[in-house]
A and B are shown apart, each in its own frame.
Chain A
């Protein structure tokens, strides 16, 4: 651990990685809580995987067509929002086919990404870092984009707290009260999409679903109100990303995978601990 701390002091890339983890944790705690209580983690999974399509396309355009400014993260944001829009509209208007469409968006998005990465000229090691994340390769430019996404997500999720709560708790009733419930549902999926992109920089798109839901699910074992769950989930997410980064540094393991393993271990421990707390 002391080795990791002295390395942090000496290396800018580690400081940037820690900062990226912190930025991702803010959105993770707040939006992850909405995802868990609304029970839409499967939708978040589909959005996460479809992000590969956007990343692959952006990478292809950047390399093959010289659109150098088009960072894969921009493609990720666009793909995530499109996927959220498709799934949201389908689930609002054609309920009985919702699971089919979610599965289709999931796989078609990934397939699009794989094809564009294959079309991209040159040897491309990026596929693995899209899939499993590489928090150590975060650049200052990425950090600014992440901060911007954070600002949007947190502002919307906190300023519209009451409306999002009402839509998560009882969408039918919210609609009856004259609230534009469908619009808020789509907004919630949009916020989920942006958060997925933020977290994918840390753990990659395959593992993102664990980091989005496990801290919130862990926090829900200890708190019985939305606000405290959000606060605890944010703290847990921060501890887990930083802890995973530190644990992976010494033995040179992939940081994303170690972070997700740590999230899983913390959740398992909380199940036992939560039972003890309730019994006591």
Chain B
């Protein structure tokens, strides 16, 4: 376990030092890229809570990314630039949407759950396209980024980088604490054997629904971050391929491991970036690569770390 901690600590230090190195080399592009990686790391960590620990295969996590993003975008559209308010609304709105979707979908199992979460996300996607007021298909430009009473300026790429960095660590820690609490143990018990958890006297539904809502809220935070990252919000945030990508990050990094989602987000987005720099038809390479990963790389990146395996 010690070697594993050292490797992970080294990753954190590298991420912390990245803007300094990139700044010294004049390669600010990489600050942006890593910031995007970390935002998706938060989204993947939120999905990992229900997918990795709860066994709920949500194929609709992009919905909360979109709801969080649109919360910031729409408030900014009406001239409300207070970041505290914007982000609180983003988290609350995605929690509410997750509550509505979860209340219906968590009652179902297996393939139904996958299809239903996907279908509801698609519904929100079409809603985004058909509401012309907020740009519809073309999206909505966010003219002023979230303002935090002068505490932090999101227009400063390095300051924003460190904010995302801190939030990523916070979210990873929060998920880690949650899954090791009594609540998390019940969630994991329901994943490994639902009949037995009923037999020892608790119904999984409220716990799974609560986890679903927390997961949605955290992903909503990622959405608010991403909206500020791109200064632009479109229905594409909620496109189903986005849900697939987030899910893939979790699997690639290692399901049900604390640091896995961040590693997965890093690996997938960096590979995408490299392939996209090489050919515009990068998806024709990425697709089979994903298939191969599923077939032959079951434990994920976290499984490669020393002491890799179940927990981390």
Q: Do A and B share a complex?
A: no
Q: Which residues of B contact A (CB under 8 A)?
A: none
Q: Which residues of A contact B (CB under 8 A)?
A: none
